[in-house]
Amino acid sequence: MTELKNDRFLRALLRQPVDRTPVWMMRQAGRYLPEYRASRAAAGSFMDLCTNPDAACEVTLQPLERYPLDAAILFSDILTIPDAMGLGLYFETGEGPRFRKTVRDEAAVDALPALNTERDLDYVVKAVSTIRRELNGRVPLIGFSGSPWTLATYMVEGGSSKDFRRAKAMAYDQPEVMHKLLTKLADAVTEYLNAQIRAGAQAVQIFDTWGGALSDRAYREFSLHYMQRIVAGLTRESEGREVPVILFTKGGGQWLEAMADTGATALGLDWTTDIGVARKRVGDRVALQGNMDPAVLYASPERIREEVGVILESFGRGSGHVFNLGHGVTPQVDPAHAGAFFDAVVELSGKYHEQ
């Protein structure tokens, strides 16, 4: 593979010295960019874009042409695994992702096939290898998956949910069925992420979007336990380098110590946890990624710059911080405001890394 020209992101995840705080943005290849909207329109649909490796590569690289990014993230969807298991993923305008089939009893869980990524999700593997080739060592590539609990909520509910009543009812009434489903999904996610690493992903992130909807005990039993199982099964070295693993539970600030116990390299933070407090809590056990409120990007460039400065000051001096939003950038954001965000990190963070 081509030598990596900018490894600032990987070094920060490993808490090694860097010249400035690296930055990328969740959903950085997305609807806020006019070039992305043009690519999606040309592809015909979101899933057509996801399943075409060349098109997925094109949109992955688009934000790198605009912004001083320190990482690229595979363009895909968190629900590719249940789709590959035969549930029939589709998107309704204004309603988000939906499945044609649901998983609401033990028979449905038993019917789910084991995942073979190279066979069932070959378009993802091809996209990863294509992106790595086209990046040509410019920045590292992040692979990702949804967490087992997050995937399970969509599979049981049939789509998005405000209260997760069906998924939670299964967890509380039929825990053995939910555990069987989560075990299958944890094994599938492990296989999926390892396939991405084999294809060239240099770091991976597990998106636990809905773990924060659980109670403390339920989170540990139904979400964190299975993410720990995945971390234990991942390939942690490739191409002579460590492959960092980032865990991100939205709404998960109360579980940082337990998340650090999983063996992950870094923890993603949403905007509800002060990053300085989080750093004190986890010490030097893990790096931290985050955590500006995405809504700040609707404010003026001056206010965006101010907020970046506040977060940098809160984390303080030294490595172990990857700057990001606390969740994905939203479609209505002005690309110029995203640019102000990236520029502020680049311009303000160097002083926190002076030797």
Closest C-alpha among 304, 280, 354, 253 to residue 21 = 354
Q: Is 130 annotated as a binding residue?
A: no
Half-sphere exposure in the Cβ direction for 19 (13 Å, CA): 6
Catalytic residue among 77, 83, 120, 208: 77
Q: How many residues comprise the chain?
A: 355
176 SS3 class:
helix
Q: Is 154 annotated as a binding residue?
A: yes
Which DSSP category does 136 fall into? T
Catalytic residue among 15, 20, 27, 132: 27
Residue 66 is a catalytic residue:
no
Q: Cβ neighbours of residue 331 under 8 Å, at least 6 residues apart? A: 30, 31, 32
Q: Is 77 annotated as a binding residue?
A: yes
Q: Is 104 annotated as a binding residue?
A: no
Catalytic residue among 31, 166, 229, 303: 31
Q: Is 29 annotated as a binding residue?
A: yes
Catalytic residue among 32, 36, 67, 154: 154
Residue 27 is a catalytic residue:
yes
Positive or negative, the CA dihedral 21, 145, 191, 133 is negative
Q: Is 19 annotated as a binding residue?
A: no
Q: Is 52 left (phi over 0), alpha (psi -120 to 50) or beta?
A: beta
Q: Is 37 annotated as a binding residue?
A: no
Helices and strands, number each (H, E), in the chain: 17, 11
Q: Is 263 annotated as a binding residue?
A: no
Name the amino acid, one letter, at 352: Y
Q: Is 119 annotated as a binding residue?
A: no
**Two tokens, residue 46:** 């979101």
Residues making up the binding site for substrate: 27-31, 77, 154, 209, 327
Catalytic residue IDs: 27, 31, 40, 77, 154
Residues making up the binding site: 27-31, 77, 154, 209, 327
